Each structure stands twice: as C-alpha cells, then as structure tokens.
Chains A and B, each alone.
Chain A
Amino acid sequence: MFRLEARPQQSRAMMLATPVLAVIATMIGGAILFVLLGKDPVEAIRIIFIDPFFDPFSRSELLVKGAPLVLIAIGLSFGFRAGIWNIGAEGQFIMGAIAGSAVGLAFYGTAGLWLLPLMALAGMLGGAAYAMVPAILKVRFNANEILVSLMLVYVADQFLRAIVSGPLRNPQGFNFPESRLFHDSAVLPILFDGTRVHVGVLAALVAVIVAWFVMERHVIGYNVKLLGAAPRAAGFAGVKQKRLTVLCLAISGGLAGLAGMIEAAGPFGQLVPTLPQGYGFTAIIVAFLGRLNPFGILLAGLVMALTYIGGETAQFRLQLPAAAISTFQGMLLFFLLGFDLFVKYRVRWARKGVA
C-alpha cells in the first residue's frame, strides 16, 4: 500500500518541480479530453502551447494578456506570503480602472505627457483605497478579509455599470453604457508598431523587479515572510502585524488598480462595462503557479496567457468548443494543487500490516 508521510522539511525540489509537472499533467489530461472530442490531440496541444511562439502577432498578444495578470499576481503575492487573503483583486482592478479613466476623461482633449502618469497614480490610489475597506475592517473588527474583499467585487462591478450609464457615459454614444474613446494623450503608447504591446507591459516588468528586491532584500519582505510563516514569532520580533496587514492590502489593491487603469488606457482606450475579464481571479492562479515568487509569477503569467491565446486559435482552427478550453485551464489549477501535496508529503511504499 502507498502511504503518505510528512516531510521533515518542505521539499525545495518539489516546490520547483510541481508547476512544471502540473503543466505536463494538464497537457496529458487535455490530450485525453481532445481525443474524446474527436480532435487530434497532438495538433491541439501544439496549437495551444507552441504555435503562439512562432506567430509574431500571438507573441505580442502574450505580453498584452500577461501584463495585467502579472501585475495583479505580484501584488497578491505579498499578502499571500503574509497569510492575508485578498480575493477581491477584481474589484480593486475595476476601481482603479474607473479612477484612472475618470482622470483621463476629466482632462479630455488636453495634451501633455503628465496625463498618463496622473491617470496611473489615480488608478493605483483607487485600487488601494478600495482595498482599505477589507483592510480596516480586518484590523479594527477582525472581519474576514476573504469574504469582505470578495463581496466588494460585486459592488465594484455594479458601480462600474452605474458610472458608464451615468456620469461617464459617452454623450454621442446613442445612450449605450460606455465612455467616449480616450483622446491620444490618455492612451498608453504602443511599444512595437502594428501590435497592441503598450507601455503597461514595461510597468509589469518593473513591478516584478521591484517586488523581487523588496521581498528578498528589504526588511518589509522579511517581515511579510515572517508573518506568514510564524505570526506569533513575528509579534515577538516586533513586526507590527496590523500595519503590515494594511500595507499588504494596499500593495495588492494598488497594483490591481494600476492593472485596471492600464487595461482601460491600453487595449480598450475607453471605459466599458465589459472591461473586467476576471483577471483579478485568474491572477490568484498565476500567483500560486508562480510559487509567489516574482520571477515565477512572470513565467506563470505568460503560461496562463498562452492558454488563452492558444485556446482561441484552437477554437477556430480545430473548432474546439470554448468550454473545452475553460476545462483545460481549470485542469491546470487542479493539477497544481494536487501535486502540491508532494511538497509537504512524500509517498512511501508500505508493506501490508506495517501501517
């Protein structure tokens, strides 16, 4: 019989191996699914995982799709490391998008290089301020931040719908609930002509590097990790738990808000009710797939983006149903969580009677 045995220490090798194993298992599981659907599994996997790298447009789209995921996941990783579970990044993303867009629209028609940084700042503040609701409720009243932040997503979504049907509605838009298109200086510059790769991609890269520095080389990172690993010990070591909780939520809210502003001012170029795509939730998968490590998150964000973009191509090249692609993405998280068992446990072959 097999027996699970707790490892004395978490296996570092397994920590690094499980995401790779999860991706491989997803490919195998996906292949079985595709066979059952009567499609060529090798071709499907090739279209999803390999072809996007050989097509210049798909390559550029990986960056467009990955940037918001990475930004949000980086922010979330701070809280997750400290044991603070912000599940409402989607709501903070929406609030950041609204705040950033409102600034852009308030200065409609105004040229100037200062406008985009101002919008970015507004986006960050909007997201961070929204994350303060669960933060303050947690440190003051010990309210569960998971529930509070999650419920606030729906509030934000309704607020977005209200604001694009009201104050920010396009006056020339036949009453359709969306803002006008931002003017040129409120739209993120494109990095490569003919693609949609915008400067927000650079922001994501900067966030990765800064996060790595803070996490590995700065006392904040040390305190965050300590709080997550041993909350009582952190208390004795003089870590101010409440202050750190607020800080972690502010960081994750701020980066989610920035991602929202970047989506609005980048690929969309306007505020629309369909702006939120669930990036705030997908980023949770990205954060864990990347082992809460900034560079891991960067890779994980690209893998996740790959499944979206390759998945779309597979849809029209092989006529795979959209639901099959969603199932395929779900498998990734499922296998990751499954294999995570082996980080803390190892499998032993036990003879009958021994156990």
Chain B
Amino acid sequence: MTILKTLATAALALGLATGMASAESHGEPTKVGFIYVGPVGDYGWSYQHDQGRIAVEEHFGDKVETTFIESVPEGDSERAIRQLAQSGHDIIFTTSFGYMTPTNRVAAQFPDVKFEHATGYQRNTPNVSTYSGRFYEGRTVQGIIAGHMTETNTIGYIASFPIPEVIRGINASYLAAKSVNPDVEFKIIWVSTWFDPGKEADAANALIEQGADVILQHTDSTAPLTIAEERGIYGFGQASDMLEFGPNSRLSSIIDDWAPYYISRVQAVMDGTWESQDTWHGIDEGMTSIGSFNPVIPAAVRKQAMDAAIQIAAGNLHPFTGPINKQDGTPWLAEGETADDGTLLGMNFYVEGIEGSIPN
C-alpha cells in the first residue's frame, strides 16, 4: 500500500512538475528578431523599422524580447538570419528586398520559426510572409505638392535601383506633378545604393545644378534634405519624417509606419494564429502615411494634397488611372482604367513624358 502510495505521489509530483515546466515555457517571452540593411541611425528606412521594433517592445512589455542586427549586407545575410533563427527567435523580420532568397532558404530549414520579409514576393514555405507599403500612394501626394511648388518646373529625383518599386514611385509622382503643372520636367539620377550619404548629397547637388528646385528621393539618408536646406530649395522626408533635417526645406514626407503591422504579427504568433500571407498596405491602413505639411505650401495646395490622400485612402482615387501611355507612346491604360497590382509589382517602364531611360 505504502509503496503504491509513494509511487502515486511521485507520479503526481512528476506530473505537477511537468505541468509547471510547460506553464513556465508559456510564460517565456516571445523572441522577435529584426535584420536591418542600414544602421538604425540612418533616420530613414532602417530607423523606421527600428521604431516598429521599439513599438513592439512598448506594446508587449515583458511578454516580448526583441533583438536586431543592423547593417547586414544583402549578399551576406543568410548567416545573420540563421543565427537569429537558431537562437530561439519565434518570429524574424528581414527588412530589405535583397534578403528574399536567404530568408526563404533559412525558413525552409526552420519550419517552427515565422519569417516576415519586407518588399519581396517569394513565400516558398508556409512559415514565410511578405509585406510592404504602397509607397506610390504617398508619391502621388508628393507629386501634387512638388508640381505646385517648383518655380523652375524642374523636379529632381534621386533613385536607388531600377526595380519596380522605385520605378513605380517615379511614375506616380510624375503623373501627379504633371496633372497640376503641365510644364513640369523630371531629372532622375540613379545612385545604385540605398544608403550612401556622400553619393546622395552629390546627386542632390548635381540635380540642383541642372535646375531642380524640388528634390524627391528614394534613398534612405537625410543627406539630400540637408543639401536642400543649405541650397535653399525643397525636398521631402523619405521613409521617416526627417523634419529636423530640413526645417525649412522639407515640404512633407512619406512615413513608413510599420508599428501596427509588427504588433499585429507578433500578437498572431502569441495567439497561434499566424499564417503565411502577403500584405500590401497603403495610406488607408496607415502603413504609408503622410508627414505634416510645411507652412510655406499655399493653403489651396495643402488642401488638394490632403484631398488626394483622403480619396486614395477611401479607394476613390487610384494613382494610376488612365488614360496613361508608356514612355514610347504605346497605350497602357485606357480612359478610366486603373492599373492592376500585378502590373504595378513588375513595373519596368516609364510613363509617357518622362525623359531618359531606365538603366540596364
């Protein structure tokens, strides 16, 4: 009897112990990892993703533990992603297009870890999601402001790489600028980098020499805005607000607000409801948002830009609405027709009116 009783107690104790252990493992914080292509101090793209990370920490408190690796070269990212995967991270956000193949490779080897890749299109295994912002919606708003504000009718554009996302931004802002100022002209410089303050500053100066008095940028540093401030022309914040870098020169900005998305995805991991999906959110959902307007912008222009943002968010206005011809004059969209996401995702042509060619 006693022996049986002892055994039973032991078994009970053991059961309790395992029960407690599993309860404890439930209490462990969810580990969230981030891979950044630039330094968190770029005050642009990577900075903004890091703001998202900080928001996750603030939202969940002790329930999460976040880590990041910054300045990870796209070509050498597989190891960094894998290090996060095997050091017990539950969900990993890889925040540059060039991480696409490495993310999918690592994901295939770590089926229990969730991966979120920004701006890519590959989801090879069920533990990979992709997400991006419809930044071109913000470009439309910028284009309206830039078209009104330019006095030389020359708008400069600092472009990074000739990928669809960048070309989409150029086309959207051109169409918007043209719609409010038929004489407007775009000068585009390709700098072949996402983040290089020196090169970006050189490009900004070169554009000013060519007569540009408003500069748009699709690179991550604050250098173009600083140059705009020095030379007394206008620019826009890119990815983050950048107000403090161009108090007079910054007209507005496109802000990538990743925080709500990151919080919802981490929550999904905690709840066990995470699923592979593709997210492309714009002004409506807040992933793309428009920074405050510089008071130098006339009230009527501010209203027009604001209305455009509101109409885009409401789904009443599509940045790519026909009639639009391609650069070579061939028709693309008929009167009233809007572009489908597939074409936008693979966009490799300028619209009619833009001069120069996309580098090959």
Task: Write the residues of chain A forming the contact surface with B, with a CB cutoff of 8 angstroms.
Answer: 57-58, 61, 64-65, 161-162, 165-166, 174-177, 181, 194, 196, 267-270, 272-277, 309, 312-313, 315-317, 319, 321-323
Contacts and interface: CB of A to CB of B under 8 A. Distances in A.
Nearest to B67: A316
A313 B121 contact: no
Interface string B49-72: 000000000000000000111111
B51 to A, nearest CB: 16
B84 A274 contact: no
B75 A275 contact: yes
B274 interface: no
Contacts of A58: 83
B76 interface: yes
Contact of B164 (A174, A277, A317): A174
B84 A316 contact: yes
Contacts, number: 80
Given A175-B163, A312-B83, A316-B83, A274 B68 contact: no
Nearest to B348: A175
Contact of A267 (B33, B78, B345): B78
Contact of B70 (A175, A268, A322): A322
B86 A57 contact: yes
Interface of B: 33, 39, 67-76, 78-80, 82-84, 86-87, 97-98, 101, 109, 121, 161-164, 192, 345-348, 359-360
A65 B79 CA distance: 10
B74 A274 contact: yes
27 contacts: A57-B86, A58-B83, A61-B79, A64-B79, A162-B360, A166-B360, A174-B345, A175-B348, A177-B162, A177-B163, A196-B78, A268-B101, A269-B101, A272-B75, A272-B98, A274-B74, A274-B75, A277-B76, A312-B69, A312-B79, A313-B83, A316-B67, A316-B68, A319-B68, A322-B39, A322-B69, A323-B71
A176 B69 contact: no
Nearest to A272: B75
A46 B97 CA distance: 33
Chief secondary structure at chain B's binding surface: mixed
Contacts of B74: 272, 274
Contact of B75 (A57, A61, A174, A268): A268
B97 A176 contact: yes
B166 to A, nearest CB: 11
Given A270-B101, A321-B39, 14 more contacts: A58-B83, A65-B79, A175-B162, A181-B101, A194-B109, A196-B79, A268-B101, A274-B98, A277-B75, A277-B76, A312-B69, A312-B72, A321-B70, A322-B69
B346 A175 contact: yes
A309 B101 CA distance: 20
Contacts of B345: 174
Contact of A309 (B39, B73, B79, B164): B79
A177 B161 contact: yes
B164 A175 contact: yes
7 A-B pairs with the lowest CB-CB distances in the bound complex, closest first: A274-B75, A322-B71, A175-B348, A274-B74, A316-B67, A174-B346, A315-B69
Nearest to A167: B360
A24 to B, nearest CB: 27
A25 to B, nearest CB: 25
Nearest to A169: B360
Contacts of B70: 315, 321-322
